[in-house]
Amino acid sequence: MSQQKPRVVIVGGGFAGLYTAKALKNAPVEVTLIDKRNFHLFQPLLYQVATGALSPADISSPLRLVLRGHRNTRVFLDEVVDIDPIAKQVSLIDHEPIEYDTLVIATGVSHHYFGNDHWKPHAPGLKTIEDALETRRRIFLAFEEAEKETDPEKRKAWLTFVIVGGGPTGVELAGAIAEIAHTALKGEFQRIDPSEAKIILLEGLDRVLPPYDPSLSAKAEESLTRLGVTVQTKSIVTNIEEGRVSVRQGENTNQIETRTVLWAAGVKASKMGRILSDRTGVELDRVGRVMVEPDLSIAGYRDIFVIGDLANFSHQGDKPLPGVAPVAMQEGEYLAKAIVSRLNGGSIEPFQYIDRGSLAVIGQNSAVVDLKFLKLSGLLAWFIWIWAHIYYLIEFDNKLVVMVQWGWNYFTRGRGARLITGESLPNMDLDFPSKSIESLKPPAVKV
Amino acid sequence: MSQQKPRVVIVGGGFAGLYTAKALKNAPVEVTLIDKRNFHLFQPLLYQVATGALSPADISSPLRLVLRGHRNTRVFLDEVVDIDPIAKQVSLIDHEPIEYDTLVIATGVSHHYFGNDHWKPHAPGLKTIEDALETRRRIFLAFEEAEKETDPEKRKAWLTFVIVGGGPTGVELAGAIAEIAHTALKGEFQRIDPSEAKIILLEGLDRVLPPYDPSLSAKAEESLTRLGVTVQTKSIVTNIEEGRVSVRQGENTNQIETRTVLWAAGVKASKMGRILSDRTGVELDRVGRVMVEPDLSIAGYRDIFVIGDLANFSHQGDKPLPGVAPVAMQEGEYLAKAIVSRLNGGSIEPFQYIDRGSLAVIGQNSAVVDLKFLKLSGLLAWFIWIWAHIYYLIEFDNKLVVMVQWGWNYFTRGRGARLITGESLPNMDLDFPSKSIESLKPPAVKV
Annotate B92-155 with DSSP letters as a single string.
ESSS--EE-SEEEE---EEEE-TT-GGGGGGS---SSHHHHHHHHHHHHHHHHHHHH--SHHHH
Looking at per-residue confidence, does A424 or A32 come out higher? A32
**DSSP symbol at A4:** S
Q: Which helix (H) or strand (E) holds A269?
A: strand A266-269
Does B204 reach chain A within 8 Å, measured CB to CB? no
Residues of A with CB below 8 A from B431's CB?
110-111, 125, 127-128, 131
Q: DSSP 3-state assignment of A401?
A: helix
Taking CA atoms, what residue in A is nearest to B132?
Answer: A432
Q: Indicate which of B11, B51, B55, B149 best probes the interface with A, i.e. most A CBs within 10 Å of its own CB.
A: B55
Task: Give the lowest-confidence range in A330-339, B133-142, B325-334, B416-425.
Answer: B416-425
A418–B128: do the CB atoms touch at under 8 Å? Answer: no
Q: Taking CB atoms and an 8 Å cut-off, how many pairs form between chains A and B?
A: 261
Q: What is the mean pLDDT of residues B226-231?
A: 96
Q: What pLDDT is stored for residue B433 in this prediction? A: 34
Task: Give the lowest-confidence range in A280-284, A287-291, B269-273, B390-394.
Answer: B390-394
To the nearest 10 degrees (0 to 180), the angle between helices A379-393 and A400-412 is: 150
Q: What pLDDT is stored for residue A4 in this prediction? A: 86
Residues of A with CB below 8 A from B419's CB?
37-39, 56-57, 60, 62, 129
Taking CA atoms, what residue in B is nearest to A243?
Answer: B439
Q: What pLDDT is stored for residue B446 in this prediction? A: 32
Residue B419 exposure: Cα atoms within 13 Å on the Cβ side: 21
* Alpha carbons A314 and A317: distance in angstroms, whole number: 7
pLDDT digits (tens, 9 = 90+) for B164-208: 999 999 999 999 999 999 988 988 999 999 999 999 999 999 999
Of how many residues is chain B composed?
447
Does B419 reach chain A within 8 Å, measured CB to CB? yes
Percent of chain B with pLDDT over 90: 68
Q: What is the mean pLDDT of residues A155-165?
A: 97
CB contact at 8 A, B348 and B293: no
Residues of B with CB below 8 A from A110's CB?
431
Residues of A carrying an active site annotation = 172
Exposure string of B63-92, with b = 16+ CB inside 10 Å and e = fewer, is bbbbbbebebbbbbbbbbbebebeebbbbb
Q: What is the mean pLDDT of residues A419-444?
A: 44
What single-letter amino acid sits at A127? K
Taking CA atoms, what residue in A is nearest to B403?
Answer: A401
Q: How confident is the model at residue B429 (pLDDT cuts 50, 70, 90)?
A: very low
**Nearest-CA distance B91 → chain A (Å):** 14
Predicted complex ipTM: 0.86
* Alpha carbons A327 and A356: distance in angstroms, whole number: 10
Does B440 reach chain A within 8 Å, measured CB to CB? yes
Q: What pLDDT is stored for residue A366 in this prediction? A: 87
What single-letter amino acid sits at A101? D
pLDDT at A86 over 80: yes
Q: What pLDDT is stored for residue A350 in this prediction? A: 96
Q: How confident is the model at residue A424 (pLDDT cuts 50, 70, 90)?
A: low
Please choose, from the candidates B343, B313, B331, B319, the residue with its C-alpha nearest in 3D space to the C-alpha of residue B26.
B343
Q: Of the candidates B110, B122, B433, which has its C-beta nearest A120's C-beta?
A: B433
CB contact at 8 A, B194 and B187: no
Q: What pLDDT is stored for residue A3 in this prediction? A: 65
What mean pLDDT value characterizes chain A? 88
**Nearest-CA distance B415 → chain A (Å):** 9
pLDDT at A311 over 90: yes
Determine how β-strand A39-41 pairs with β-strand A160-164: unpaired
The one catalytic residue among B134, B172, B179, B293: B172
Residues of A with CB below 8 A from B93's CB?
425-428
Q: What pLDDT is stored for residue B98 in this prediction? A: 97
Does B70 reach chain A within 8 Å, measured CB to CB? no
Measured from the Cβ of residue B164, the count of other Cβ atoms closer than 10 Å reads: 26
pLDDT at A33 over 60: yes
Taking CA atoms, what residue in B is nearest to A120?
Answer: B433
Q: What pLDDT is stored for residue B391 in this prediction? A: 73
Q: How confident is the model at residue A397 (pLDDT cuts 50, 70, 90)?
A: low
Residues of B with CB below 8 A from A140's CB?
38
pLDDT digits (tens, 9 = 90+) for B374-428: 898 888 888 888 888 877 776 655 566 676 676 666 666 666 677 777 655 544 4
pLDDT at A385 over 90: no
Q: How confident is the model at residue B1 (pLDDT cuts 50, 70, 90)?
A: very low
- What part of B 266-295 touches A (C-beta under 8 Å)? 271
Q: A86 CB contacts (<8 Å, ≥6 apart)?
A: none
H helical segments located in A209-271: 214-227
Q: What pLDDT is stored for residue B444 in this prediction? A: 34
A148–B77: do the CB atoms touch at under 8 Å? Answer: yes
Residues of A with CB below 8 A from B139's CB?
none
Residue B332 exposure: Cα atoms within 13 Å on the Cβ side: 30
Q: What pLDDT is stored for residue A206 in this prediction? A: 96
* Alpha carbons A326 and A315: distance in angstroms, whole number: 17
Cα-trace Rg, chain A:
23
Cα-trace Rg, chain B:
23
A130–B422: do the CB atoms touch at under 8 Å? Answer: yes
Q: Of the candidates B60, B408, B409, which has its C-beta nearest A419's C-beta?
A: B60
Q: What is the mean pLDDT of residues B357-385?
A: 86
Please choose, from the candidates A39, A89, A436, A94, the residue with its C-alpha nearest in 3D space to the C-alpha of residue B428.
A94
Please choose, from the candidates A248, A247, A244, A208, the residue with its C-alpha nearest in 3D space to the C-alpha of residue A225.
A208
pLDDT digits (tens, 9 = 90+) for B39-88: 999 888 899 999 988 888 888 888 998 898 899 999 999 999 999 999 99
Taking CA atoms, what residue in A is nearest to B409?
Answer: A398
Taking CA atoms, what residue in B is nearest to A440?
Answer: B259
Q: Of the candidates B75, B271, B417, which has its C-beta nearest A57's C-beta?
A: B417
pLDDT digits (tens, 9 = 90+) for B208-217: 998 888 999 9
Does B223 reach chain A within 8 Å, measured CB to CB? no
Q: How confident is the model at residue B141 (pLDDT cuts 50, 70, 90)?
A: very high
Q: What pLDDT is stored for residue A443 in this prediction? A: 33
